[in-house]
Structure 1
């Protein structure tokens, strides 16, 4: 009857030993428990109440520095320029001295051979060879160093500005790089000038009949060499003693001319720092006081320069 069928069906649902009735309930309970666990894990995640612009900029700066500090990343001049430009946009120049030092001293990664032999199985995939911080290739490019110094001056941090100068313009690698770039062509021409002078002297001696050709060759050769040496000496003195570009930081007496030329960018960087920390008005120069100004004056003196030379100041000629 219908009543007996109803009782039978209700008994089947309430019978816990029936395997056919237990399967759907257990599956539904498992699905409900998994869903609850997933929702619980999502709800239990901790999110910051708000994300500030400063936090995002600091995170970008930190990740960029982490990439350059990674042992397997080789820092190229283009990569260093991009990093300095990024940190300048973020106004985060605090890492510049460390990165510049890392650029010159970081071990160079060398990838292993692509062929897998029995002898290469024990070798690591990447090996490192030591860098040479005094080579010209380890010098910081001048535009990159100037951009870093400009950013440090903008943040008005004197220790950071001096540290950037120490790791860029004051290094031996930078001086060698400047010498190689600016003196390679003039030095080559000066080296071959005696040969060119002798060739011209021989030709000139054949155009006259008043002297012996060998004697005429010697006279012409001596005259050409004297002219070249005189012009080169005057040009060298004029270049190394020029001071029209100097404003507040000048060279002290006794500094060799060669050192003045090769360290001109270092002096110019100190001059920029002095102009940024001192008074803008010409009539108030020399009145600066404070511990930062004293530190700057001492730093300038240690480097063989003079801050606010009295005979070069306005009205003291």
Structure 2
């Protein structure tokens, strides 16, 4: 029914579909439905109401990104279905997609970026005020010194916070970032890494002492999938007894 051209797929409809198919244990069509959700034309009103026209959206727009809750439910269904190729396809069509990266930037990074852009103006305004309440130097020089001090503080604290957020690894279990991957890319792709980590834990040994001993075609496929995306499955220096 969702494939019919006059049926509009909203986020709520997509969520209900994923929940229903998960309960029926039929997640095979999830990747195709996600692609359809991003590419299917949506209705737009025209001047002659109540008529509408269908306009194809941009598949990379943040507005058509798969919501994290929906992606998580779909991945859980694929793991329960015990299909590694399906799980990787779901990750590829959700967390790995360009639309999701733009959605995350728009949702989580727009406020810090706006603050960073506005920081010089705010620093200048504060420095100008501080310069008026001192008598040790002329106003222009005091404004310059105060602004440099404020901007230095903001830059140092902001850089430390950025590094702390992008290099944190307490949440990583079996899949970690490869050395040399840019910090910005690590932050943008963290949900993708977490999803691959979740799949690795589901398909690997439960006994931690046996991690790294897994073999087989599917495990090699998972290791290669992680490797080409800047991730390392079972990084040696983080394995038990190798610290």
TM-score class, shorter:
over 0.9
The alignment's TM-score, normalised by the length of structure 2, stands at 0.96
**1:121 equivalent in structure 2:** none
Listed one character per residue, the Cα deviations across residues 184-217 of structure 1 (whole Å, up to 9, x for unaligned) are 2222222222111111111111111111111011
**1:281 equivalent in structure 2:** 207
Q: Return the alpha-carbon distance in structure 1 between the equivalents of residues 113 and 184 of structure 2.
A: 15
**Correspondence 1:154 to 2:80:** yes
Give the count of matched residue pairs.
242
**2:240 equivalent in structure 1:** 314
Q: Which is bigger in relative contact order (C-alpha 8 A, separation at least 6)?
A: 2
**Correspondence 1:91 to 2:25:** yes
**Correspondence 1:237 to 2:171:** no
Q: 1:110 to 1:72 in 2, by over 3 A?
A: farther
Q: Return the alpha-carbon distance in structure 2 between the equivalents of residues 95 and 211 of structure 1.
A: 71
Instruction: Report the CA distance between 1:128 and its aligned residue.
Output: 2.7
Q: Return the alpha-carbon distance in structure 2 between the equivalents of residues 180 and 131 of structure 1.
A: 18
**Correspondence 1:216 to 2:150:** no
The alignment's TM-score, normalised by the length of structure 1, stands at 0.74
Instruction: Report the CA distance between 1:109 and its aligned residue.
Output: 3.6
Root-mean-square deviation (CA), in Å? 1.3
Q: Which has the larger radius of gyration?
A: 1
Runs of 5+ consecutive residues of structure 2 not aligned to the other structure: none
**1:298 equivalent in structure 2:** 224
Runs of 5+ consecutive residues of structure 1 not aligned to the other structure: 1-66, 116-124
Instruction: Report the CA distance between 1:303 and its aligned residue.
Output: 1.0
Q: Which runs of structure 2 are paired with 1:1-317 in the superposition (5 Å)? A: 67-110=1-44, 113-114=48-49, 127-317=53-243
Aligned structure 1 segments of 4 or more residues deviating by more than 6 angstroms: none
Listed one character per residue, the Cα deviations across residues 104-137 of structure 1 (whole Å, up to 9, x for unaligned) are 011224466347xxxxxxxxx6643222001101
